[in-house]
């Protein structure tokens, strides 16, 4: 009788663990994290004194592999020139030291504290790029 009870308890415990693993897998699928994918939005603001452009042509929301640096993602999505991890040109729009015009970016409405090569993107990030004269 003890063997039957022990075997039954083992079977119930084993079945319960299997359902929990399946449930966790379903939660990962629902969150989009099972594939290691994240969603990131790139927005641009180019000062009209620098160049007149419809920024909506280059703004985009993309799905990327998690763990990717901002620089790697930008190179994947845009024509980019960089210097030691800092982006100097995007889609042919270049910064100019002579004119004191630089590419700057914000992450979720906060000024970036590191270069694009040093920032690892996170799901839901909104990266806002600005090309404008510095004062």
Could you report the per-residue pLDDT of 9-61, keeping only the tens digit for each? 333 333 344 444 444 444 444 444 546 999 999 999 998 888 888 888 999 99
Average pLDDT, the chain: 80
For residue 76, what are the CA distances in angstroms to 10, 12, 53, 85, 127? 51, 49, 22, 15, 15
Could you report the per-residue pLDDT of 58-92, keeping only the tens digit for each? 999 999 999 999 999 999 999 999 998 789 999 99
The pLDDT score that the predictor gives to residue 48 is 85
Q: Which residues pair with 110 in a beta bridge?
A: 107
The pLDDT score that the predictor gives to residue 35 is 65
Contacts of 104 (CB under 8 A, 6+ apart): 111, 112, 129, 130, 132
Position 99 pLDDT exceeds 80 = yes
């Amino acid at each position: 009788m003890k063997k039957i009870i022990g075997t039954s308890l083992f079977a119930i415990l084993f079945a319960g663990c299997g359902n929990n693993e399946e449930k966790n897998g379903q939660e990962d699928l629902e969150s989009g994290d099972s594939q290691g994918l994240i969603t990131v939005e790139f927005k641009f603001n180019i000062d009209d004194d620098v160049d007149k452009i419809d920024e909506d042509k280059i703004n985009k929301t993309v799905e990327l592999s998690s763990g990717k640096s901002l620089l790697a993602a930008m190179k994947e999505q845009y024509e980019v020139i960089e210097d030691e991890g800092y982006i100097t040109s995007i889609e042919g729009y270049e910064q100019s030291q002579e004119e004191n015009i630089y590419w700057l970016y914000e992450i979720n409405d906060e000024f970036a504290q590191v270069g694009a090569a040093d920032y690892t993107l996170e799901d839901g990030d909104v990266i806002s790029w600005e090309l404008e004269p510095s004062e």
